[in-house]
Structure 1
């Protein structure tokens, strides 16, 4: 009887894993069109809606004047944008986290982190290529950036990366410190968006688009992970406790062969 029960559990877990993989890839594929707010913003950008254009131009010009008048402030923004919140930095953190999860044998959580990060990058690049929006052209620019403008890759990468780091690591953070972690994540996401507009390399709507699209990717891949948890009989989790509360155990995935 125990042998049959173990075999049945193995089959159930394998079926759940297959469904999880399909859901994860499917969620990533439709993430770009699943976010209604992002789709609406995309329509407004593509249609060159005048109120949005005026807002973009006003924010760009005001922040550009401040950047020209305060050299030290501008240098700080460059440092934050090009080093602290640079997409390469954020993706490296997620890659290290994924490697650590693999070392912990948290296979499914590692796959979720990797797929979320990679899907976010590819979807952002695809939308940039399709929309082909030019970056702001300002007199006496204080910074330069290659490629198209919408959505902001910095803003999108910060959104997906901070979400991955939070949702994976929260179970190991004492509850009293979790609001601090959320605060750092929100500050990073908002801060990188501000630096991109203040440096004159993105429109305000580019940044909002990056935030919305990044949030859509995380929401959909997170849904896929929660669906897998339900399939294997685990309880649903709250956002405030992370995706895998069991990660605090010594061997979080050993029992899920």
Structure 2
């Protein structure tokens, strides 16, 4: 599993991985730092789809599912975002990786670096929203939804190393953890007892 492998390698300070991360971080910093307009645009994007934004999106989606009387799915959405945050916090504190350091940082990062919380929550939040919306979409709109969700999650994750506050492996780990959390909770939701499924009702009667 890529996430567990990255946890082990980062915790062990495996020199080839550390050298790779350091070199990429320096290259990205040298590209973005001299361009204030690019840096400002990345700051706006990373905040627009940041951790709190994605938490709010996830909880609003759960509330919307409740209004549609999709009770078990709403519980899944709430559980997925809660567990993603919990797992991310536990791993951050356990690995305790320092963030990249530069003499003149583009922005300041707070807390441990691994995994990226922005990448984790972007994958989780967009995954929850996509799963809730897909049953309502048909044809090309389903492809549009997939493209938008993937585009937002990946671009938000990539904004972090571009701003010099995360290493590339931080965002890979964050994305992997988000996808794994969604997959695990969705699997549990799929095997809910039949009585739990009876909680779900269509939003409108025909």
If the TM-score is normalised by the length of the shorter chain, which range does it land in? over 0.9
**Shift in Å, 1:251:** 4.0
Residue 99 of structure 1: aligned partner: 63
Structure 1: which 5+ runs fail to align?
1-35, 234-245, 253-257
| C-alpha contact 2:65 2:132 (8 A) present in aligned 1 | no
1:61 aligns with 2:26: yes
User: Per-residue displacement from partner, 1:160-187 (whole Å, max 9, x unpaired)?
Assistant: 1111111111011122111111111111
1:109 aligns with 2:73: yes
Deviates more, 1:172-181 or 1:111-120: 172-181
| C-alpha contact 2:69 2:203 (8 A) present in aligned 1 | no
Larger C-alpha radius of gyration, 1 or 2?
1
Aligned pairs (5 A) from 1:74-85: 74-82=39-47, 84-85=48-49
Pick the aligned partner of 1:232 from 194, 197, 205.
194
**Normalising to structure 1: TM-score of the pair?**
0.75
**Shift in Å, 1:250:** 3.6
Residue 120 of structure 2: aligned partner: 156
1:49 aligns with 2:14: yes
Task: State how far apart, in whole Å, the 2-side matches of 1:68 and 1:38 are.
Answer: 30
Q: After TM superposition, where is structure 1 displaced by more than 4 Å over at least 4 residues in a row?
A: none
Residue 187 of structure 2: aligned partner: 223
User: Per-residue displacement from partner, 1:84-143 (whole Å, max 9, x unpaired)?
Assistant: 211111111111111111122211000000000011011101110111111001121000
**Normalising to structure 2: TM-score of the pair?**
0.93
Deviates more, 1:107-116 or 1:61-70: 61-70
Aligned residues: 201
1:71 aligns with 2:36: yes
Task: State how far apart, in whole Å, the 1-side matches of 2:56 and 2:132 are.
Answer: 15
SS in 2 for 1:69: coil
Please give the root-mean-square deviation of Cα atoms over the aligned residues, in Å: 1.6
